């Protein structure tokens, strides 16, 4: 991102994307929609984004001129910028996020529902005239490699240049995406306005049956970058069910052993629970000496479909990372830290005296002088960086980035991993008995809440497949869709559950985590290949202490007992709770999943 001060590359006039008659005909639905939105929002100008460097330079210069972006230290963080959002606009707002289906049951109890006609009327009243004095940006984008059959296109209309700059990093945005839309015709419609940034006038509406998103009143990435959670999960999960694939809140990581064999793992964790750290894992020193390598395909979202050989193949629909900054350090995630040293947009971090970005946990010997609100830093008044402060950066800058991320066919998945933040009961890792059991493991997943969403932090809630805030339809139907992949000839991944966050009696974490998590992944790959040992329990197969390579890791007796142990009484209560949770979805809940819960509950009681 150049710091050019010229602002002449952005047109101030309304424009059409293509001029010849045949192209206009093929894009008529898009042109008509843009005209309809312009008539509603009444912008001063319309700009069709082409994704070019010149366009981005001019856009960034315009934001630098009006203070939307603040330059950071060009020597230490070249091409990088700071954005400060409104203090009341710093995270996803799940209570204001709606799935608007014709039938309420289709959205399910896992979503806030509003009738489509009512939702359109409510939010369109807010959009009425909201872009006066602003430029309306039309952003054609592709989620996934441009030539992948699993990729899907969308168009976001926004009045936020910050959103444009972020979408350029997070998606394949601009002319190539528009060309694919021209070829295919279909696309997801996304309309966004920052509005007045008033929490009382803020909604994120999804219309799965119309492949449409409307977001008003927020500039925060999770609410405003409509290609991300809104399209790639809420709308895509609905598309995936109808078209026979899966859209999941999962990282994709490749584990290459010393023999040069690579296994790809997809893993689902709630936001701010270590997805990016695992996706960019640095092997422990001994593993590095032995020749182990880790390849990052994706850190947040995974789209999977069955391949001709019966295996699931996955792509990362995103082109960048929208990661949580606090806690990112040379110790926790050196790859992420290296990735964001240049050409990065930081949001709501603190800054040092020499204008470097700073956040809690960075541990770089620097100290903040300004907090995320732009005020002089005072530790007594709160952290320098907001707990959900973010960085946006191109994935290709990651040292462990895998070229397979651009493979249009995707990568074959050997294992699926579920995991949450559980201080007690749940062991370090266990393997499900079969696919149906694995679906139950994902459906029953629980985690303590984090700062990635508004509300109380540290409250345990069920978060099936880490999709509670993101599934675009009834969870009961979603579980049935998962079960439907278990067909004759399918070679489905093994399913595991992990818990990096188990604590001891003194409140400290018992497992070192970070790079040492590779020791657990090695055991999983061994299970996939039929080479690693384990012990059968009612909840699944657990490794014994000796089944993991723990060279160089010192675990206390308490840690060994709790990380590798099985607490029958606690699991009896857990499965009673799981049964109640499944029953809460009523008759739509697949009987196969209820039978599996009852089978395990019976074993626990026996």
Give the pLDDT band of residue 3 (cuts 50, 70, 90). very low
Residues above pLDDT 90, as percent of the chain: 90
pLDDT in the model for residue 102: 98
Mean pLDDT computed over every residue of the chain: 94
Q: Do domains 21-70+93-244 and 247-320+402-567 have the same CATH topology?
A: no
pLDDT in the model for residue 332: 87
- For residue 8, pLDDT over 80 is answered with no
- Residue among 273, 302, 398, 471 flagged as catalytic: 273
- For residue 19, pLDDT over 90 is answered with no
Question: Does the annotation list 271 as a binding residue?
Answer: yes
pLDDT, one tens digit per residue, over 76-115 is 999 999 999 999 999 888 899 999 999 999 999 999 999 9
Q: Is 471 assigned a catalytic role?
A: no
pLDDT in the model for residue 459: 74
Question: Does the annotation list 277 as a binding residue?
Answer: yes
Question: Does the annotation list 3 as a binding residue?
Answer: no
- For residue 252, pLDDT over 80 is answered with yes
Question: Does the annotation list 222 as a binding residue?
Answer: yes
User: Per mean pLDDT, which of 10-19, 235-244, 444-453 is the most reliable?
Assistant: 235-244
The domain ranges of the chain are 21-70+93-244, 247-320+402-567
User: Going by C-beta distance under 8 Å and a sequence separation of 6 or more, which residues neighbour residue 84?
Assistant: 70, 347, 348, 372, 373, 374
pLDDT in the model for residue 222: 87
CA 330 and chain centroid, separation: 22
Question: Does the annotation list 342 as a binding residue?
Answer: no
Average pLDDT over residues 444-459: 71
Report the DSSP beta bridge partners of residue 304: 246, 314
Burial state string for 45-59 with b = 16 or more CB within 10 A and e = fewer than 16: bbbbbbbeeebbbbb
Average pLDDT over residues 138-147: 98
Question: Does the annotation list 475 as a binding residue?
Answer: no
Give the pLDDT band of residue 271 (cuts 50, 70, 90). confident
- For residue 225, pLDDT over 80 is answered with yes
Question: Does the annotation list 514 as a binding residue?
Answer: yes
Q: What is the DSSP letter of 199?
A: G
Tell me the backbone φ, ψ of residue 164, rounded to 5 degrees. Answer: -60, -50
pLDDT in the model for residue 20: 59
Question: Does the annotation list 561 as a binding residue?
Answer: no
Question: Does the annotation list 272 as a binding residue?
Answer: yes
The two three-digit tokens of residue 365, written as one number = 């010997």
Report the DSSP beta bridge partners of residue 234: none
Question: Does the annotation list 275 as a binding residue?
Answer: yes
Question: Does the annotation list 389 as a binding residue?
Answer: yes
pLDDT in the model for residue 273: 83
Output the pTM of the full model: 0.94
CATH class given for the domain over 247-320+402-567: alpha beta
Question: Does the annotation list 516 as a binding residue?
Answer: yes
CB atoms within 10 A of CB 225: 33
3-state secondary structure 235-300: HHHHHHHHHCCEEECEEEEEEECCCCCEEEEEEECCCCCCHHHHHCCCCCHHHHHHCCEEEEEECC
Q: How far lies 98's CA from each of 204, 207, 384, 469, 477, in Å?
A: 6, 9, 32, 10, 18
Question: Does the annotation list 229 as a binding residue?
Answer: yes
CA dihedral 126, 130, 135, 140 (to 10 degrees): 10
Rg (CA), the chain: 24
CATH class given for the domain over 21-70+93-244: alpha beta
Least confident of 455-459, 521-525, 584-588: 455-459
Q: Which secondary structure element, helix H or strand E, spans residue 569, and what is its range?
A: helix 568-583
Strand bridging mode 411-419 / 262-268: parallel
pLDDT, one tens digit per residue, over 186-221 is 999 999 999 999 999 999 999 999 999 999 999 999
Average pLDDT over residues 493-521: 96
pLDDT in the model for residue 582: 97
CB atoms within 10 A of CB 599: 15
């Amino acid at each position: 991102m150049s710091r050019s001060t010229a602002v002449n590359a952005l047109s101030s006039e309304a424009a059409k994307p293509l001029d010849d008659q045949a192209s206009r005909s093929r894009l008529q639905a898009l042109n008509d929609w843009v005209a309809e939105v312009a008539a509603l929002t009444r912008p001063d100008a319309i700009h069709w984004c082409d994704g070019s460097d010149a366009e981005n330079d001019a856009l960034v210069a315009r934001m630098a001129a009006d203070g939307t972006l603040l330059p950071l230290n060009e020597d230490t963080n070249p091409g990088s910028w700071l954005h400060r959002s409104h203090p009341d606009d710093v995270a996803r707002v799940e209570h204001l996020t709606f799935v608007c289906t014709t039938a309420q049951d289709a959205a399910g109890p896992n979503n806030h529902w509003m009738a489509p006609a009512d939702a359109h009327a409510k939010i369109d009243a807010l959009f009425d005239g909201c872009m006066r004095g602003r430029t309306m940006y039309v952003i054609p984008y592709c989620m996934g490699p441009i030539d992948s059959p699993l990729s899907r296109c969308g168009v976001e209309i926004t009045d936020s240049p910050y959103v444009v700059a972020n979408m350029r990093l997070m998606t394949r945005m601009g002319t190539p995406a528009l060309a694919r839309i021209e070829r295919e015709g279909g696309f997801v419609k996304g309309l966004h306005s920052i509005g007045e940034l008033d929490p009382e006038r803020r909604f994120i509406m999804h219309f799965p049956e119309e492949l449409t998103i409307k977001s008003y009143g927020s500039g925060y990435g999770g609410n405003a970058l409509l290609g991300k959670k809104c399209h790639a999960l809420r709308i895509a999960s609905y598309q995936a069910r109808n078209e026979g694939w899966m859209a999941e809140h999962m990282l994709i990581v490749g584990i290459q052993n010393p023999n040069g064999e690579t296994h790809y793992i997809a893993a689902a964790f709630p936001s701010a629970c270590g997805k990016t750290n695992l996706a960019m894992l640095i092997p422990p020193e001994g593993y590095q000496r032995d020749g182990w390598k880790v390849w990052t395909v994706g850190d947040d979202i995974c789209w999977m479909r069955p391949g001709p050989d019966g295996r699931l193949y996955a792509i990362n629909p995103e082109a960048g990372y929208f990661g949580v900054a606090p806690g990112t350090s040379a110790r926790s995630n050196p790859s992420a830290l290296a990735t964001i040293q240049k050409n990065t947009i930081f949001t709501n971090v603190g800054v040092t005296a020499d204008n470097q970005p700073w956040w809690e946990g960075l541990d770089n010997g620097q100290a903040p002088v300004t907090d995320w609100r732009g005020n002089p830093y005072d530790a007594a008044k709160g952290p320098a960086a907001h707990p959900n402060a973010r960085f946006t950066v191109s994935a290709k800058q990651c040292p462990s980035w895998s070229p397979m991320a651009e493979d249009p066919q995707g990568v074959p998945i050997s294992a699926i991993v579920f995991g949450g933040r559980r201080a007690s009961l749940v062991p370090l890792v266990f393997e499900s008995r079969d696919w149906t059991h694995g679906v139950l493991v994902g459906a029953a997943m629980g985690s303590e809440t984090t700062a990635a969403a508004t509300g109380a932090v540290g409250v345990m809630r069920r978060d099936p497949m880490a999709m509670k805030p993101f599934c675009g339809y009834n969870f009961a139907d979603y579980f049935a869709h998962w079960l439907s992949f278990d067909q004759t000839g399918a070679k489905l991944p093994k399913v595991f559950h992990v818990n990096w966050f188990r604590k001891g009696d003194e409140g400290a974490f018992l497992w070192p985590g970070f790079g040492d998590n590779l020791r657990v992944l090695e055991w999983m790959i061994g299970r996939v290949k039929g080479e690693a040992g384990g012990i059968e329990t009612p909840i699944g197969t657990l490794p014994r202490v000796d089944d993991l390579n723990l060279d160089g890791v010192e675990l206390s007796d308490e840690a060994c007992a709790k990380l590798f142990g099985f607490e029958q009484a606690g699991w009896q209560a857990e499965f009673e709770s799981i049964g109640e949770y499944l029953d809460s979805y009523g008759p739509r809940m697949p009987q196969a999943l209820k039978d599996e819960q009852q089978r395990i509950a019976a074993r626990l009681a026996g």
